C-alpha cells in the first residue's frame, strides 16, 4: 500500500512530506505510484492531506521533503505553468471578463500556439464537453453545470497527459453532480489521460475511480480498487469512511484456523475474519455491511451466524427498506433490504433473529 516507489509510475510521490510550520506534518512520508491512464482518487475528510498532495503535484505547494516525479523526471523545482498539467477547481476559476472561447484560448496562447491551431483545439475541446455553441458567452451567462464543463474543457484544451481535479463537482446539485461523474469518467476513458481526483465524497470516488487512496491524518490508510475498499477494508477508519457500516465492539477470545472468535458485551460469541486485530484479550470492532445482514430465515446463507435483535425503526426508502435495530447493546445497527413484493415490513419493538455469513464479518482495530 505505502511502499517506496520503484520508478515505474507515471506519477510518483517518493517519501514526500509537507509541513507548514516546520513542526507538524500535514503529509507524512507519502509513497504513491500512479499508472499512466489511471483514474486515481484521493479520498478523505477535511484536513487529511489529500488536497495538499494535489497542490504539491500541481506546483502550487512545495514539498518539505521527498521527490515528486512525472514520467520519471523530478518536478519539485518546475513551476506550475511548465509542468503541462491540466487543472479543474471546484470554483471553476474562469476569467469573468473573457468569453468562453477566450478562456480556452488563454492556456494555448501561453504556450505560444498560433491562431488557427488555437481555434481548432478550442472547437474540439468545446465539442468534447457538448458546449460547442457557447464560445461567445461569458461565464456569468452560464449555469453552474455549464461553467464546470467549460472549466473541464479549458483543462483539456492543450491536450495534457495529466489532469488534476480538486472537488470539481462540489458546487453542483445532486442530480447534475451524478450526471457529470459519468461524463468525466467517459472522457477519461475516451482520451486515455491520467486523472488525479480529490474529493471527500465516497460515492463519487466509488463511481469514478480505478483506484482510491483513502487519506487520514496525512497518511494513506488503504490504496485499492473501489470494490476492494468496500468489501475488504483494512482498518476501522476505512470501514467507517467507505459506505455505511455496522460495528460491534468486542474482545478477542481466540484466533485459530483463520477465524477470530469475539465475545460481545452481552456475552455472546461471534466469529469473524481477523484482519487488523491483536491476540486473545485484545479489543476489536467487528465490521458488517448493512446489506449483508438478513432477517428472513429462508434467506440466510449456509453456516450463517444469527443473533437476536430488537427493531427500533423501519424506514421505507423506495428501492430499499432500512431497518435500525438494537443488537448486542448497540442501538445503531442497520440492515438494508431490497424492496421486493414478498418483503415483510418490520414493526418497532418486534424481536427478530438476524444473521450474516461468517466471511462478511471482519475483526478490525478498535477506533
CATH number at residue 322: 2.40.50.140
Measured distance CA(137)–CA(144) in Å, rounded? 14
Cell of 220: 494513506
Predicted pLDDT of residue 358: 87
Whether 212 and 250 share a structural domain: no
Predicted pLDDT of residue 230: 94
Predicted pLDDT of residue 325: 96
What are the residues facing 269 on neighbouring strands?
Answer: 263
Measured distance CA(359)–CA(361) in Å, rounded? 5
β strands within 140-245, DSSP E: 162-166, 194-199, 211-216, 219-224
Cell of 53: 498532495
Q: What is the mean pLDDT of residues 108-135?
A: 90
Percent of the chain's residues with pLDDT above 70: 98
Q: What is the mean pLDDT of residues 94-102?
A: 91
Q: Is residue 3 part of a domain?
A: no
Whether 248 and 230 share a structural domain: no
The last residue of a domain, from among 191, 218, 236 = 236
Whether 270 and 190 share a structural domain: no
Predicted pLDDT of residue 76: 94
Q: Is residue 6 part of a domain?
A: no
Predicted pLDDT of residue 8: 61
Q: Is residue 120 part of a domain?
A: yes
Whether 137 and 186 share a structural domain: yes
| Whether 354 contacts 295, CB under 8 Å | yes
Predicted pLDDT of residue 89: 85
- Give the model confidence (pLDDT) of 216-241 as tens digits: 999 999 999 999 999 999 999 999 99
Whether 229 and 255 share a structural domain: no
Whether 259 and 200 share a structural domain: no
Which of 92, 161, 153 is CA-nearest to residue 122?
A: 153
**Confidence label for 61 from pLDDT (cuts 50, 70 and 90):** very high
Q: Is residue 37 part of a domain?
A: yes
| Whether 126 contacts 139, CB under 8 Å | no
Q: Is residue 5 part of a domain?
A: no
Q: Is residue 274 part of a domain?
A: yes
Reported pTM: 0.89
Whether 186 and 50 share a structural domain: yes
Domain with 155, as residue range(s), is 11-236
Q: Is pLDDT at 197 greater than 70 in this prediction?
A: yes
The last residue of a domain, from among 236, 263, 292 = 236
The last residue of a domain, from among 188, 218, 236 = 236
Whether 205 and 249 share a structural domain: no
Whether 182 and 254 share a structural domain: no
**Confidence label for 2 from pLDDT (cuts 50, 70 and 90):** very low
Measured distance CA(270)–CA(287) in Å, rounded? 12
- Give the model confidence (pLDDT) of 318-360 as tens digits: 889 999 999 998 999 999 988 887 777 889 999 999 999 988 9
Q: Is residue 346 part of a domain?
A: yes
Whether 53 and 192 share a structural domain: yes
User: Which residues fall within 8 angstroms of residue 220, CB to CB, at 6 or more apart?
Assistant: 1, 2, 30, 32, 213, 214
Higher pLDDT, residue 57 or 303: 57
Measured distance CA(169)–CA(289) in Å, rounded? 27
Q: What is the mean pLDDT of residues 109-116?
A: 87
- Domains held by the chain: number: 2
**Confidence label for 242 from pLDDT (cuts 50, 70 and 90):** very high
**Confidence label for 10 from pLDDT (cuts 50, 70 and 90):** very high
Q: Is residue 49 part of a domain?
A: yes
Whether 23 and 153 share a structural domain: yes
Predicted pLDDT of residue 67: 96
- Give the model confidence (pLDDT) of 20-30 as tens digits: 998 899 999 99
Predicted pLDDT of residue 298: 82
Whether 15 and 164 share a structural domain: yes
| Whether 354 contacts 360, CB under 8 Å | no
Predicted pLDDT of residue 340: 82
Mean pLDDT taken over the chain = 91
> Residue 131: which CATH number?
3.40.50.300
Measured distance CA(218)–CA(241) in Å, rounded? 15
Amino acid at each position: 500500500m505505502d511502499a517506496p516507489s520503484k520508478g515505474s509510475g507515471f506519477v510518483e510521490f517518493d517519501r514526500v512530506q509537507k509541513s507548514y510550520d516546520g513542526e507538524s506534518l500535514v503529509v507524512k512520508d507519502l509513497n504513491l505510484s500512479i499508472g499512466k491512464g489511471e483514474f486515481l482518487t484521493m479520498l478523505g475528510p477535511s484536513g487529511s492531506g489529500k488536497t495538499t498532495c494535489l497542490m504539491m503535484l500541481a506546483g502550487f505547494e512545495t514539498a518539505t521533503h521527498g521527490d515528486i516525479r512525472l514520467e520519471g523526471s523530478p518536478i519539485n523545482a518546475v513551476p506550475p505553468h511548465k509542468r503541462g498539467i491540466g487543472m479543474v477547481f471546484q470554483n471553476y476559476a474562469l476569467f469573468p471578463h473573457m468569453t468562453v472561447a477566450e478562456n480556452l484560448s488563454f492556456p494555448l496562447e501561453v504556450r505560444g500556439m498560433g491562431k488557427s491551431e488555437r481555434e481548432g483545439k478550442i472547437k474540439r475541446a468545446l465539442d468534447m464537453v457538448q458546449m460547442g455553441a457557447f464560445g461567445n458567452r461569458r461565464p456569468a451567462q452560464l449555469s453552474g453545470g455549464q461553467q464546470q464543463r467549460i472549466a473541464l474543457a479549458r483543462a483539456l484544451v492543450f491536450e495534457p497527459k495529466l489532469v488534476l481535479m480538486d472537488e470539481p463537482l462540489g458546487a453542483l446539485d445532486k442530480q447534475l453532480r451524478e450526471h457529470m461523474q459519468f461524463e468525466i469518467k467517459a472522457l477519461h476513458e475516451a482520451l486515455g489521460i491520467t486523472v488525479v481526483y480529490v474529493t471527500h465524497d465516497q460515492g463519487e470516488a466509488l463511481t469514478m475511480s480505478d483506484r482510491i487512496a483513502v487519506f487520514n491524518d496525512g497518511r494513506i490508510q488503504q490504496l485499492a480498487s473501489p470494490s476492494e475498499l468496500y468489501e475488504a477494508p483494512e482498518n476501522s477508519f476505512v470501514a467507517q469512511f467507505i459506505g455505511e457500516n455496522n460495528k460491534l465492539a468486542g474482545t478477542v477470545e481466540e484466533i485459530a484456523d483463520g477465524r477470530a472468535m469475539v465475545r460481545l458485551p452481552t456475552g455472546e460469541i461471534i466469529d469473524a475474519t481477523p484482519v487488523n486485530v491483536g491476540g486473545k484479550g485484545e479489543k476489536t470492532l467487528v465490521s458488517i455491511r448493512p446489506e449483508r445482514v438478513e432477517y428472513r430465515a429462508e434467506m440466510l446463507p449456509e453456516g450463517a451466524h444469527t443473533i437476536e435483535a430488537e427493531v427500533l425503526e423501519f424506514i421505507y426508502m423506495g428501492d430499499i427498506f432500512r431497518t435500525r435495530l438494537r443488537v448486542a447493546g448497540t442501538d445503531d445497527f442497520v440492515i438494508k433490504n431490497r424492496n421486493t413484493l414478498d418483503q415483510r415490513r418490520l414493526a418497532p419493538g418486534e424481536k427478530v433473529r438476524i444473521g450474516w455469513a461468517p466471511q462478511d464479518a471482519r475483526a478490525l482495530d478498535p477506533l
